[in-house]
Structures are given as C-alpha cells and as structure tokens.
Structure 1
Amino acid sequence: MTFDQAMFSIYERAKREASYNASIFLRMLTDNGGIQTARTLINATKPSDGYTALYEKGRLDLTVEALVLENQIWHELFTLDELKRAKTRLQQYGYGFPA
C-alpha cells in the first residue's frame, strides 16, 4: 500500500465507521496528494475541523497524525519535527497509543 492509498483508506474508514464525510480532506488529497496533505495538516497551528470532528466521535485513530505515527514505514516521509508535532497533538487530545 502506498501512502496515498493509506490516506484514502482513512477517509473511507471515517465515512464508514464514524459516519464522518471528510469532503475537504478528500479534496486536499485529490488536489495535492497524500504526503502534501499530511504535511499541511500536521504543520497547521491548530487542529483541522476534521481532526476535531473525529476527536468528538472518539476516533482519533482515523486522523492523519495517527496514521503517520502508528506505522513506521511512513516515518521516513516526514521530518522529526513533523513526527513530534503529530505526537504532541494526539497526546494533547488524550489519544491512547496502541501498545
């Protein structure tokens, strides 16, 4: 699976499992690709509306931040600062990382 495919997968899962239609996220993916979309969202000064919606639904596991952090094969696509930013955001929202 490519990173773009993984990003489209969390879009589909959010729609199916959390009844959240992330239309802006889908447009970003289509226009900019997965890596640029992830960088944009991770580097934003505040969480996106989609992140907040998934938090409210108890599904932070479907966020870009979780996708990037939880599978080490994606780590090489991002800077250490971006990985740290993603982890900090998830921790601030009480995300329980899988063991």
Structure 2
Amino acid sequence: MRTVYERSRDEANYPATHFLRMLADLGPLATARRLLNAPAVSDGFAALWERGRLDLTVEALVAAPRFAPLFTEKETDTARKRLGQFGYQAP
C-alpha cells in the first residue's frame, strides 16, 4: 500500500498525506478496511477520480484478484461497486 501512496504522489501529483498517516497509524489492512467501511468514498478516491487514476485507489487494490484472500466478499463487493459507480472496470 505504500507503493500506492508513492505512485499517487509521483504519477498523479496527489500527495495523499492523510492516507500515509493512516498507514503509519493503522497498518495497511486496517487502513483498507476503514476506507471500505466508510459510508462514502474518501477524499483521496475523489481526488484520484478527478485525475483519471482510479487504478491507484485502495478500492482498485482490494478488487485485484491477488489480494482477494485478505478481504471479505462484502469488502471486495464494496470496492468493485464504488469503482463501477465511477466508470472504472475492476480486474
């Protein structure tokens, strides 16, 4: 998840400082779960959507098949649904 932060900063010019702080405080798995269990998309998700880079969101990471074993079906469904609502087809 640190790589997602770095890519967001470098490729999308989005300094996700709140996300970085969450990673330090909660760790990657708890950070992802907190974002997924929020009632709406995060400010970071919105900022990346504006930049056309939903591939750099936590939701895109959660929806990736290689990370599926780490999350519940509900969590992966939430990630896919959010991405779909914004026109992004998850892998």
TM-score interval, smaller chain: over 0.9
> Which structure 1 segments of 5+ residues have no match?
1-6
Does 2:13 correspond to 1:19? yes
Following TM superposition, the consecutive aligned residue runs of length 4 or more in structure 1 with deviations greater than 3 angstroms are: none
Q: After TM superposition, give the deviation of residue 74 of structure 1 in Å.
A: 1.1
TM-score by length of 2: 0.96
TM-score by length of 1: 0.88
2:40 to 46, 49, 53: 46
Q: How many residues align?
A: 91
Q: After TM superposition, give the deviation of residue 42 of structure 1 in Å.
A: 1.0
CA RMSD between the two structures:
0.9
Paired letter, 2:69: E
1:56 to 12, 26, 50: 50
Deviation track 1:8-64 (CA, whole Å, cap 9, x = no partner) reads: 000000000000000000000000000000000011100000000000000000000
Identify the residue that residue 8 of structure 1 maps to in structure 2. 2
